[in-house]
Amino acid sequence: MKFYNYLNEKRKRSVIVVDIQPMYESYIKFSMERFTNFLVRNNDILYFYNGPETVGVDSQNDIVRFLMESSDYGDDLYYKLMSELTKWVDKGYAFFRGWMDQGIDEATLKQAIRIMFQRKIYDSRDIEEDEWIELLPELEGIHFDDMISIPDIQINELKKWSGSYLVGGGRNECLAEVKILMDAFNIRYQIVNEFIYG
């Protein structure tokens, strides 16, 4: 790790976590003990997960138990996860994958997300294919039935987390989607590579 990155990652910040939960345990190769210590040492937590309300099976309590099993901090971690210091969001899954998996680049995706947000449209199929191609010629030839959607995440709330550490996975799946959403609205973050999986 470069010295600059080392210093930057030692600063205390809020943390945005994406899908570090039991259902993805087999993909997580980093030390969960180090991860839980990292959570305790930093500020507030925005914890995105795939839960019972969307496509996952893990509840908030399941995730708390999963994290507690690996922690040296016991009461401190439990308090942090169960208090107002942690905001839990059952975020859903694959909001942008319909176009990501077709090879649409991030710059085009971000433009499309901004267009949908400005028009208060949450499903890309609510804009006609011809209009999409007129707006973004890079979309020529994609399958528009494979839609993208604006997730049920309040952008104004997400902006309050600007400057946070960002961790989780999968690197090219859900974490990538959260990064694209944040980039689309110029919300800053600092990736901590030690705690990225996938």
| 44: amino acid identity, one letter | D
Statement to judge: residues 90 and 166 lie in one domain: yes
Statement to judge: residues 37 and 133 lie in one domain: no
Phi, psi of 127 (to 5 degrees): -110, 130
Q: For the residues 95-102, what does the mean pLDDT come to?
A: 96
pLDDT (tens digit, 9 = 90+) per residue, 30-67? Answer: 999 999 999 999 999 999 999 988 887 899 999 999 99
Residue 61's contacts (CB-CB under 8 Å, 6 or more residues apart) are none
pLDDT band at 10 (very low <50, low <70, confident <90, very high): low
Could you list the beta-strand ranges (E) of the chain. 15-18, 45-49, 86-90, 164-168, 189-196
Query: Contact at 8 Å (CB) between 195 and 167?
Result: yes
Q: Which two tokens stand for residue 122?
A: 């949450």
CA 45 distance to own-chain centroid: 12
In a domain, 130, yes or no: yes
Q: What percent of the chain has pLDDT over 90?
A: 85
**What is the per-residue pLDDT for 72?**
82
User: Domain containing 171: what range?
Assistant: 15-94+161-196
Statement to judge: residues 19 and 54 lie in one domain: yes
pLDDT (tens digit, 9 = 90+) per residue, 126-176? Answer: 999 999 999 999 999 999 999 999 988 889 999 999 999 999 999 999 999
Total number of domains in the chain: 2
In a domain, 7, yes or no: no
Statement to judge: residues 124 and 169 lie in one domain: no
9-13, 52-56, 175-179, 185-189: lowest mean pLDDT where? 9-13
| 1: amino acid identity, one letter | M
**What is the per-residue pLDDT for 56?**
73
Statement to judge: residues 25 and 74 lie in one domain: yes
In a domain, 26, yes or no: yes
In a domain, 47, yes or no: yes
Statement to judge: residues 40 and 107 lie in one domain: no
**Secondary structure tally for the chain: helices H, strands E:** 9, 5
